[in-house]
Structure 1
Amino acid sequence: MGTPPIGADAREEDRAAYLDETARKFGISVEDYLLPTDGSIRILDETGALRPVGEQGTAPGHEYPLPEAGDLLEAYEALVVGRRVNDQNSALVRQGRMAVYPSSHGQEACQVAAALCLGADDWMFPTYRDSVAVMTKGIDPVETMTLFRGDWHGGYDPKKYKVGIQSTPLTTQLLHGVGVAHAAKLRGEDTVVLAMCGDGATSEGDFHEALNFAAVFKLPVVFFVQNNQYAISVPLAHQTAAPSLAHKAVGYGMAGERVDGNDLVALLAVLRRAVRLARDGHGPLLVEAHTYRMQAHTNADDATRYRQDAEVQEWLAKDPVTRMRAYLRSESVLDDAGEARIAEAAEAMATRLRDGLNEDVAPDPEDLFRYVFTEPTTQLQEQRARLVDELARDAATETEGTR
């Protein structure tokens, strides 16, 4: 194999020390730290009852404290609003107000937890299915849905909100997220990046490149994989032979964890710890959420061609909204008045969406040239001048014709 390059042994020792230090933090071996626990972390059962600690899927070094009641109530409100948003957007597609909508109905717990686990200076890089996460981060719903009405831009300012534009290519956003994390580390900033993707995206080359780069440079990135069982029509079994997607993390030298993606309590606990570890210098982590896409891939898809209704009904019983409601009710954190207030907030969001997307947008033709380069080229300036002249002549002709 030849002589290793200068410094290779030192880099290997540094990597080993880095993993040993992290494992010692939890009093476990490096292997136990890197590998996910046996089964998914689940704090609430499917009825919304709190599971005994010994049955939550935890193991030494993988214990998760119960989030505060106030945090859970805030998360539940975002969950209900997210469900209403999904239903409203599906209706807007049928009305012709949006070109396409990839619903996250059934996955809202993942979306809400992703947004609420981050700090004010942290970045989130969502996929095309993560509109609820984007809105939960505080972005106006109409701005969020601008992309899906067929506009030419993403609708919101990524730098202002620290949220990347929703990505239709499966994994390009992971590379962008890793780049932001690398820049933040070089500048000494206290920034964590949450990079989101689906199970199908783990088959892409960009997934490998993003995880490998992040692990080698010990970047503060949490890779959040929402495993909803299908990459459009391709089931998970045709995507990977690994025991789980979380197990892929160990091949890159980072920790992986599996969590019940319909258990909002567990999601908040797992993602918050992952963000905290990344912020404290323990490098990147991968979290796989086991969930389900209740509706079709998009409004252009016919899900009945590749999955059975019995499977959908099985997951319907695991609905994250009813599970969370039952738990909060049982703990007297949620009452009728709280339900009414939350339902009103959800309806207000739906109204904001309807009203905003029912407004016709008058495009400005000069936008074709305005955002291509910071300093327009001579050719662009000439093209713009010709267009402005042509539009002016058309307007003059129209005015003359009305006299």
Structure 2
Amino acid sequence: MRLPIHREPHRPFDPPSELRGLPAMSRLEFADGHLGWLATTSAAARAVLGDPRFSARQELKHVVLHSVRPGGAASPAPPGFFAAMDPPGHTRYRRLLTGQFTVRRMRLLESRIAQIAAERLDAMEQAGPPADLVTAYALPIPSLVICELLGVPYADHDFFQQHTARIVSPGPESPVALKELAAYLAELVQRKSPDDDDLIGGLKAELSVEELTNVALILLVAGHETTANMLALGAFALLREGRREREFGAEAVEELLRWLSILHLGAPSRTALEDVEVAGELVRAGETVALSLPVINRDPAAFDDPEALRLDRPEARRHLAFGHGVHQCLGQQLARIELGIGYRALFERFPGLRLAVPAAEVPLKEAAAVYGVTSLPVTWSTSAG
């Protein structure tokens, strides 16, 4: 079986129908012809992600959908690219970064996130309807939050926003924008002082320029693209499902993370370092296991009536949207804050917000690494109207 990516018409938030009813572990053909596995239950996914006998090293992984590099297998992760490392290398970076994601810093960012959301909504209101919620709201918020976290000077915010928007857009501009932004971050790292009260400054004395540049790139790409897509896709889901609650507590955010599961193309994945039994199947050393999070997060063994969107679901936090084990998302608390503030502020400002086009015409990112919408036309009634 190859991993299906196309969703049924009029069911944009549900996993592809071919993935339903599969056993916990199924054979999966990868892009390079490798015969690996697909995990589709919460228990199997936790077993893989929590077992040190499975590796996150990129040079060991087979890619689910995209062709292998022309030169063959991927190279080992460069210094600082901790997401594609195993302990003890991963442990060192993780320990340093955990010290930067403190409760104090998250609280300081919370007030700034609320300010950023309000400013974007002010701009939308001033321009008037209709608006593309992706470009007007969902993309700028995480971009500006990453600026605050990394300590990007205010004068460079426009450059940063434009390049992050180009990175997440499909097409030839994406790798060019990534290269330009990497060069900018390397220069920013060199200019920073250990006395600066931001993440780069806090790690300047601990890491080399190359390491810190790659750390910043990981935080940028992982934190920006996922949060931006969640903000837009979550708003689309709420509007399409007729849900306009202004109270977005912790359970509502967790339920949207569970129900939408935007990492949909077999990520995360792990490669067995030795023979390991998972859910009654023997995974041989060298075989890669991909995870179907959209199916895993609707596992009836983990969630009651999993197909339903219940914004008050008490067990929603059992989802694996942020992963599990030593590689569990470092910035998950920041993402939760951004989403909670983002949804709440949007519907408080525009309680009559609605889609400006039929739901079936909203363009979906089925083949992108992170599921979402490329645009989300919305409209609302003005006070003059």
The answer to whether the superposition gives a TM-score over 0.5 is no
TM interval, shorter chain, is under 0.3
Greater relative contact order structure (CA < 8 Å, 6+ sep): 2
Whose helix proportion is higher, 1 or 2?
A: 1
TM-score computed with the length of structure 2 as normaliser: 0.27
TM-score computed with the length of structure 1 as normaliser: 0.26
Larger Rg: 1
